[in-house]
Amino acid sequence: MEVLEAIRSRKSIRAFRPDPVPEHVLIKLLGVATRAPSAVNLQPWEFFIVRGKALKEVKSVYLEDYRFGKLPDPDIPVGDTRDIAPVLEGVYKERQVALAKQIFNIMGITKANKKMEWSEKMMQFYDAPTVIIVAVDKVLQGNWPILDVGLVTQNITLAAQEFGLGTCIMRAIVDYPKHLRKIVGIPESKRIIVGLAIGYPDWDHPIAGLKTTREEIDNIVTFVG
């Protein structure tokens, strides 16, 4: 796949087939993705791949906490979290609302209980057969490692397509780090940054038709000199 085509065709996948992703595929994918650049070649990332019984267990306690209204407590602060997303204003709020509207329209969701059901689906990581959790050692302070993780994460999403895989980068996956430390065995010494749902996309699902919008490039570019 050409680079530009991979960038253009990538999109978040929110419906997966149950087929497992073979280990050798994940290893190959991560092998390519970790060609990502990082500050002074730190390569701060570590990957925890969660599947099967462990994933089932994570999903079960996540759903319980979510239904109980437990506030997310991610290792990476995401702002003033009163619900499952940061409290936003202005154009950022508009974009967040536009995304929700697009999803609810496509899914034909109008009622509050159905919206809740969709949120619960998210807290089940859209039933992906595998999730990847990206963590960095706490000895690495500051924000650079987070940028580096962003780069490797994007590489995973792009390269995944070459293997017929779809991904959704998900903050929801890292909402309750306590459970991840206990069930997945991620030590206290690691900062849990982000997660990805990964699997073979269910292209027949209505949500597969979602194409998110982007700001006009002229509105966000300033030429100087």
Which residues make Cβ contacts (< 8 Å) with residue 181, sequence separation at least 6? 187, 188, 192
Q: Minimum Å distance from CB 193 to ligand FMN?
A: 9
In the complex with ligand FMN, the residue whose CB is nearer, 158 or 194, is 194
CB count in 10 Å sphere of residue 43? 15
- Residue 34 or 119: the one with the smaller Cβ distance to ligand FMN is 119
Residue nearer to ligand FMN on the CB measure, 12 or 43: 12
For 16, the token pair is 């997966």
Q: What tokens appear for 86 in the block?
A: 């940061």
**Which among 207, 208, 37, 26 is positioned nearest to 133, based on CA atoms?**
26
In the complex, least distance from residue 195 CB atom to ligand FMN, rounded to whole angstroms: 8
Using the minimum distance from each CB to ligand FMN, give the nearer residue, 69 or 225.
69
- Tokens 């459970």 belong to 179
State which H helix or E strand residue 67 sits in: helix 52-67
Least spacing, CB of residue 14 vs ligand FMN, in Å: 6
Nearest approach, Cβ of residue 133 and ligand FMN (Å): 13
Residues of the shown chain interacting with ligand FMN in the complex, contacts defined by CB under 6 A:
11-12, 14, 99, 122, 168-172, 194, 212
